[in-house]
Amino acid sequence: MSEELLYWLAGDLRWSDFPPKADMIATIAALIVVAGAIGVVATLTIARRWRWLFDNWLSSLDHKKIGIMYMVLAFVMLLRAVIEAVLMRIQQALSVNAQGVVSADHFAQLFSTHGTIMIFFVAMPFISGLINYVMPLQIGARDLTFPFMNAVGLWLSAAGAAILMASLVIGEFSTGGWSGYPPFTELAYSPGEGVDYWIWAVTLSSIGTTLTGINFATTIYKERCEGMHLFRMPLFCWTSLCTAILMIFAMPPLTVATALLALDRYAGFHFFTNGAGGNMMNYANLFWLFGHPEVYILILPAFGVWSEVISTFSGKRLYGYASMVFAVMCIAVLSFTVWLHHFFTMGQSTNVNAVFGIATMLIGIPTGVKVYDWLLTMYRGRIRLTAPMLFAMTFLLCFVIGGLTGIILANPPVDFQVHNSLFLVAHFHNMLIPGTLFGMIAGYMFWFPKAFGFRLDERWGRIAWACWSGGFLAAFMPLYWLGLMGMMRRTAISFEAAYQPWLNAAWAGAALIVCGIVALGIQLVVSVRRRSDLAVPVGDPWDGHSLEWWTPAPPPEYNFARRPRIEDTEAFTNAKRDGRAYHAPPSYEDIEVPRNTLIPAGIGAAGFVCAFALSWHIWWAALLGLAAMWAGVVLRSLQGDTERVIPAAEVQRQNEAWLDCARQTAPVTRFAEVERINRGRAMETT
Amino acid sequence: MSAGKNLHPGINLGHSDPAGHHQAEPVMFGFWIFLMSDLVLFALLLATYSAMSVHGVAGGPEPRDVTDLASAGIETALLLLSSFTIGMASLANKYHDDGRRLLQWLGLTAVLGIGFLAMEARDFASLIAEGAVPQRSGFLSAHFTLLGCHALHVAAGLLWMAVLVLQLMATGLERALRLRFMRLALFWHMLDIVWVAILTFVFLYGAAG
Amino acid sequence: MSIETCTNADCSGSGHGLLSPAGLIAQIQQDHLIQTVLIVSVVIVPVFIALPLLLWRYRLARQNVYSPEWRFAWAPEFVIWGVPVVIVGFLGFSLWHTLHRIDPYRPLGTGTEPPLHVQVVGLDWKFLFIYPGEGIASVNELVVPAGRQIAFDITADGPMMSFIVPRLGGQIYAMAGMRTKLHLIADAPGSYRGLNTQYNGQNFARQKFELKAVGPDEYRQWVRSSRNGPALDMARYAALAKPSVIDRPLRFGRVEDGLFGSIVAAYHTADRQPGDRLSSAGDTHR
């Protein structure tokens, strides 16, 4: 076959891009991915679960199922990114005046994929998933405003994640870091498919997230139940709203940055190239105009989780609700005014640096307020140190350290020194692990009983907490010190023997974090096995405050038999106190729910094909993928009958069964919260 | 939320189709938010353009070399006129049930839109013929990208219009379709607003500078 | 001494990075760091005290005072908003003041001697130092007189890099076609590690150099001996600019006039294909 014909058919893709690879570890990783994929397919086939998978999950437009699928995606990607982190820690610990175990180029791919995955395919799916599951329940809605678009968002994110997985098997990934700074990522310095993989994976995620943000914001503004004024929403909804607003405004800059970089690489444009008028400083501005709000997109929903967890397990109303809302809004607005602190060292004037430094420190004010509001929420409460609450405590302690180092980094005089160093790496991991990730784990443990009808095993939850907390401290506190010693990020080898003990500690910490993940896995398996012991069918195992606890566990697909009408933020608490929480409504009505459809998954698959083909310059397949994506949208608009009616009688049957169950269940006190007798009807004891 | 609060900004269907008006509320609101997000995209492209038009010339053509005011004038006239015609289409969408009048106004809008795209294609072709290709300098890259992105949006709007018209002919003016026409009109107006910004910053400033 | 053998004992002296400043700038940076930590402690230390206390006093088993409905009071509200506002105000003032003292673009207000000018070109994966006043140049070895401030002009011929000497101060980006500035001073003679902090390819971690601060006589002698080195003309520069790791420092006795300026300017002329190095159109980066 002629070279030209081959290019038309397969672009730059050749047999040599498939495993085995030059690097032993890379080959093993590729084989693990392939084996994992084969394993999943085989398991589904043997267990005859394909139809179940398609009918119940892949085609679902139910916000609860989409939320769970987001979380599954996040957990799978978390596994890979943590393994990469451990590999990097091993490399750095073994490469002081030595070669270590991986090549410099492989190391660069590791930090690039680790960062990209953790931000776009772990943290983002986690928060999208949690908000998806919890927020509509908390505002008493039946679903998001746009269920179809919600599923499209999920499948575009999944397509982006699939690109990352494909890059592990076929070809190589970018070495340009998660921020993909040109001109290094331009063709001149990074030829090959790596940066293209990065561009399209991130772009898919960015478009999906923009759609999701629009959906969340519309839902919160338009789908609240009667009496749910904005200032009666649970704090998690407020943080979801701020996150949604940030997504709407902050994702377009990322789309623009990656699109312009793509134009440079594919069409020879000169946005960020060296020379011909290109200027990478524009990229830095565009990227961080996204990147800084992005960190608040990641942390704000966790703030919401902490507010719910701390208030629930202190048995108290949240202290300073209005103050908290105001603080969150302040943070959201300020997050757009500080992007320049990511490049104090780019040579702009001192006054500009100073203004952005001070603006950055301003964010410390509302953030500090929140920490104290949480402490005041615990004041005069009845505190139970369940696993989610334990995570919350680690969060509070670590988060103030992260706040301190954030203030330090906001000071250009110090930033000049620690920019690009491990101090910076320690800082953002300090915010994102105890902040976002612990928040998501706590949220997972907190709302798991709601989603699946049984609690998670408490003992393994505590073990997981101990491993994660200890692992985090051991892995990242040394990095602060190494940063002050002048060790820079992204170094595959180092030449200072004094780094060694600190690198060893960091490596041990990373290993402990892996133990934490294993503990989470064991917790899940143990809990599934003991599910009848842990069952909480009534749906309110923690004496919750907000509406999501006022439904069965798991909730029916329409969420509420009758949409609630509330008169206070803590309507459910009041109803429980007055003994009217489980009274039957006067009447029932037919409920419309969206019909299942496979179109969103199809759009995601087409998006994957398009992105993969673009990365390898297989133009015909890229066009086909793009056309298929739009065909999916048009096809949807042609579907006439997109709703399914659940008759009132059926709703009544289900609801009364639940109410009977609730009335027959003995209330359980907080002392017995984690005992077997907790069947989901928890009560305050005074 | 009670029905009384459902007063979305835009054409009010409340008199002829209260239920449709009720449905329009979240749908239109969501679309406004999408437009906001799309405007952020254009704002950033404009910002990139303005930086590049000063620092990215690299010895190549400058803004005044690539702006043809006469052509821009015709393009502006076409697009603004199409905004008027799609406004008339929106009124037809509200007051008439048979869809015929709607089709006529949409047809006129499509003709004007295609005319606009043809003019822009002519501009691009003449620039390329002069050697002012986007690969030549950062400024030209930004120029082609900004205008190209807007043109792509106009083309997408036309394609969307075509799909909706086919649906209209197949099913008649259903409620769901009415809401889609309302969104299309909003989208089209937004492209006009973006064009006004482009006209100012690219063409008028360019010609003056 | 070659960079490869520059291990802990040789290079690091008594300490590392910001922990052990050896110049005025780094000293100010360290002082600012310590000051910031102390001030912010006013807000964070109470958290460390209050949290265990709250957990102990209000644990469920203790059945202490319980006010489930208590949700707001003005007094704590004023404190938790007011104290951070005051602290950030103070920090902001201190930031402004310190930052203007050590503005990397302005000469330090110390000493009477005019600064020593050094032009830095970041290359894959080494630093070229041009001494325009002396007409010499070196690679991966920066010899300066101790106690005299150095005024750097910095650019790159390749992807973006970042220039720092941790124990003296920094850092500032090195970008192709652009010229950034930095002022540093070494208080005492010594050997200090300098490096690139911005990832620029597989040998990024090896892009480091040694800054030697020496006495005035020793400096003059070093300059004299450097003059014997080969000339750095365009051809030799082109060879040098190719991606490579330099194990031993190089010295050049003569430098083509305006070399630094032409490296910066090359990225502004329209006829050059961008992304090309001055040196080589063809060779690949990785």
Q: Which ranges of B98-174 would DSSP assign to H, the alpha helix? A: 100-129, 138-171
Mean residue pLDDT of chain A comes to: 95
- Separation of alpha carbons A532 and A396, rounded Å: 34
pLDDT at C4 over 50: no
Residues of A whose CB is below 8 A from C14: none
Average pLDDT of span A188-199: 95
SS (H, E, C) A557-600: CCCCCCCCECCCCCHHHHHHHCCCCCCCCCCCCCEEEECCCCHH
Residues of A whose CB is below 8 A from B157: none
For chain B, 209 residues long, the average pLDDT of each consecutive 10-residue run is 51 70 86 95 96 90 91 96 96 86 95 97 95 94 97 97 93 87 95 96 89
C204/A contact by beta carbon, under 8 A: yes
Q: Rounded to 5 degrees, what are φ and ψ at B73? A: -60, -45
Q: Rounded to 5 degrees, what are φ and ψ at A636? A: -60, -40
- Separation of alpha carbons C222 and A544, rounded Å: 76
Q: What is the ipTM of this complex?
A: 0.94
Contacting chains of A (3 CB pairs or more, <8 Å) are: B, C
Residues of B whose CB is below 8 A from A276: 58, 136-138
Question: C121 and C55 in one domain?
Answer: no
Question: C242 and C150 in one domain?
Answer: yes
Residue for token digits 């051809």?
A: C235
Average pLDDT of span A182-209: 95
Residues of A whose CB is below 8 A from C100: 350, 354
pLDDT at residue C3, rounded to an integer: 37
Question: Is residue C106 situated within a structural domain?
Answer: no
> A171: left (phi > 0), else alpha (psi -120 to 50), else beta?
left
Nearest residue to A224 via CA among A589, A565, A573: A565
Question: C82 and C123 in one domain?
Answer: no
Q: Check CB contact under 8 Å for A375 and C54.
A: yes
Q: Are C183 and C140 in contact (CB under 8 A)?
A: no
Question: C95 and C142 in one domain?
Answer: no
Question: C148 and C225 in one domain?
Answer: yes
* Minimum distance, in Å, between the CA of residue B141 and any CA atom of chain C: 14
Residue in C44, C53, C93, C208 to test binding to A, most A beta-carbons within 10 Å: C44
Contacts of B70 (CB under 8 A, 6+ apart): none
Question: Is residue C185 situated within a structural domain?
Answer: yes
- The tens digit of pLDDT for each residue in C186-211 reads 999 999 999 999 999 999 999 999 99
Q: Which of C101, C135, C160 is the last residue of a domain?
A: C101
Average pLDDT of span A564-571: 90
Q: Which residues pair with A444 in a beta bridge?
A: none
Q: Check CB contact under 8 Å for A252 and B56.
A: no
Q: Are A235 and A319 in contact (CB under 8 A)?
A: no
Q: Which residues pair with A488 in a beta bridge?
A: A421
Question: C49 and C120 in one domain?
Answer: no
Q: Are B30 and B168 in contact (CB under 8 A)?
A: no
- Separation of alpha carbons C203 and C201, rounded Å: 6
pLDDT at residue B6, rounded to an integer: 52
Nearest residue to A9 via CA among A628, A615, A625, A613: A613
Residue B41, SS3 per DSSP:
helix
Question: Is residue A217 situated within a structural domain?
Answer: yes
pLDDT at A686 over 60: no
pLDDT at residue B112, rounded to an integer: 97
Q: Check CB contact under 8 Å for A276 and B138.
A: yes
Residues of C whose CB is below 8 A from B137: 270
Residue for token digits 């063709």?
A: A187
DSSP state of A530: T
Residues of B whose CB is below 8 A from C268: 58-59
* Minimum distance, in Å, between the CA of residue A614 and any CA atom of chain B: 19
Q: Check CB contact under 8 Å for A271 and B142.
A: yes
Q: Check CB contact under 8 Å for A226 and B1.
A: yes
Q: How far is CA B201 from CA A559, B79, B149, B150, B205, in A?
A: 51, 17, 15, 14, 5
Confidence of residue C270 (pLDDT cuts 50, 70, 90): low
- Separation of alpha carbons C110 and C30, rounded Å: 18
Q: Which long-range contacts (CB under 8 A, 24 or more apart) does C64-67 make?
A: C64/A380, C65/A380, C66/A315, C66/A380, C66/A381, C66/A382, C66/A686, C67/A316, C67/A380
Contacts of C89 (CB under 8 A, 6+ apart): none
C60/A contact by beta carbon, under 8 A: yes
- Separation of alpha carbons C158 and C242, rounded Å: 9
Residue A120, SS3 per DSSP:
helix
pLDDT at residue C286, rounded to an integer: 36
Q: Which of C101, C130, C145 is the last residue of a domain?
A: C101
- The tens digit of pLDDT for each residue in A146-179 reads 999 999 999 999 999 999 999 999 999 999 999 9
Partner residue opposite A277 with nearest CB, options B27, B36, B138: B138
Question: C251 and C135 in one domain?
Answer: yes
**Identity at A222, one-letter amino acid code:** K
DSSP structure string for A52-92: HIIIIIIT---HHHHHHHHHHHHHHHHHHHHHHHHHHHHHH
What is the per-residue burial (b if ≥16 Cβ within 10 Å, else e) of A271-281? bbbbbbbbbbb
Q: Which residues pair with C123 in a beta bridge?
A: C126
* Minimum distance, in Å, between the CA of residue A205 and any CA atom of chain B: 15
Mean residue pLDDT of chain C comes to: 88
Question: Is residue A38 situated within a structural domain?
Answer: no
Domain count within chain C: 2
Containing structural domain, residue A108: 49-597+642-672
- Separation of alpha carbons C36 and C33, rounded Å: 5
Q: Distance from CA of residue C5 to its chain's centroid?
A: 22
Domain count within chain A: 1
Q: Check CB contact under 8 Å for A270 and B48.
A: no
B59/C contact by beta carbon, under 8 A: yes
Nearest residue to A223 via CA among A143, A153, A134, A129: A143
A354, two tokens: 């100073």
Sign of the torsion angle spanned by Cα atoms B140, B142, B145, B148: negative
Q: Check CB contact under 8 Å for C67 and A354.
A: no
Question: Is residue A151 situated within a structural domain?
Answer: yes
Residue for token digits 């821009």?
A: B72
- Separation of alpha carbons A604 and C146, rounded Å: 62
Question: C131 and C55 in one domain?
Answer: no
% of chain B beyond a pLDDT of 70 = 93
**Residue of chain A whose alpha carbon sits nearest to that of C95:** A411
Q: Which residues pair with C251 in a beta bridge?
A: C138
Domains of chain B: 84-209 (1.20.120.80)
Q: Check CB contact under 8 Å for A319 and C104.
A: no
We report the CATH number of the domain holding residue A222 as: 1.20.210.10
User: Omega into B134 within 30° of 0, i.e. cis?
Assistant: no
- Separation of alpha carbons A138 and A158, rounded Å: 26
pTM (global) more than 0.90: yes
Question: C59 and C161 in one domain?
Answer: no
Residues of A whose CB is below 8 A from C28: 413
Question: C253 and C152 in one domain?
Answer: yes
pLDDT at residue C284, rounded to an integer: 39
**Residue of chain B whose alpha carbon sits nearest to that of C266:** B58
Q: Check CB contact under 8 Å for B137 and A270.
A: yes
Question: Is residue C5 situated within a structural domain?
Answer: no
Q: How far is CA A481 from CA A426, A472, A486, A503, C6, in A?
A: 9, 15, 9, 10, 22
- Separation of alpha carbons A85 and A507, rounded Å: 9
* Minimum distance, in Å, between the CA of residue C269 and any CA atom of chain B: 6
C264/A contact by beta carbon, under 8 A: no
Residue A268, SS3 per DSSP:
coil
Nearest residue to A442 via CA among A386, A518, A399, A396: A386
Question: Is residue C75 situated within a structural domain?
Answer: yes
Q: Are A299 and A435 in contact (CB under 8 A)?
A: yes
pLDDT at residue A685, rounded to an integer: 59
Nearest residue to C181 via CA among C189, C190, C171, C191: C171
pLDDT at C5 over 50: no
What is the per-residue burial (b if ≥16 Cβ within 10 Å, else e) of C262-281? ebbebbeeeebebbebbbee
Question: C223 and C174 in one domain?
Answer: yes
- The tens digit of pLDDT for each residue in A26-68 reads 999 999 999 999 999 999 999 999 999 999 999 999 999 999 9
Nearest residue to A225 via CA among A135, A350, A315: A135
Containing structural domain, residue C83: 24-101
**Residue of chain C whose alpha carbon sits nearest to that of B137:** C270
pLDDT at C9 over 70: no
Question: Is residue C110 situated within a structural domain?
Answer: no
Question: Is residue C4 situated within a structural domain?
Answer: no
Question: C145 and C88 in one domain?
Answer: no
Question: Is residue A525 situated within a structural domain?
Answer: yes
* Minimum distance, in Å, between the CA of residue A604 and any CA atom of chain C: 33
B58/C contact by beta carbon, under 8 A: yes
* Minimum distance, in Å, between the CA of residue B176 and any CA atom of chain C: 46
- The tens digit of pLDDT for each residue in A498-545 reads 999 999 999 999 999 999 999 999 999 999 999 999 999 999 999 999
Q: Which long-range contacts (CB under 8 A, 24 or more apart) does B93-101 make?
A: B93/B11, B93/B173, B93/B178, B93/B181, B93/B182, B93/B185, B94/B11, B94/B12, B94/B13, B94/B16, B95/B16, B96/B173, B97/B173, B98/B172, B98/B173, B99/B168, B99/B172, B99/B173
Contacting chains of B (3 CB pairs or more, <8 Å) are: A, C
Question: Is residue C262 situated within a structural domain?
Answer: yes
pLDDT at residue A272, rounded to an integer: 96
Residues of A whose CB is below 8 A from C201: 175, 184, 189
Question: Is residue A25 situated within a structural domain?
Answer: no
* Minimum distance, in Å, between the CA of residue B59 and any CA atom of chain C: 6
Q: Check CB contact under 8 Å for C268 and B136.
A: no
Residues of B whose CB is below 8 A from A252: 37-38, 40-41, 44
pLDDT at residue A421, rounded to an integer: 96
- The tens digit of pLDDT for each residue in C110-160 reads 767 889 999 999 999 999 999 999 999 999 999 999 999 999 999 999 999
Q: Check CB contact under 8 Å for A269 and B55.
A: no
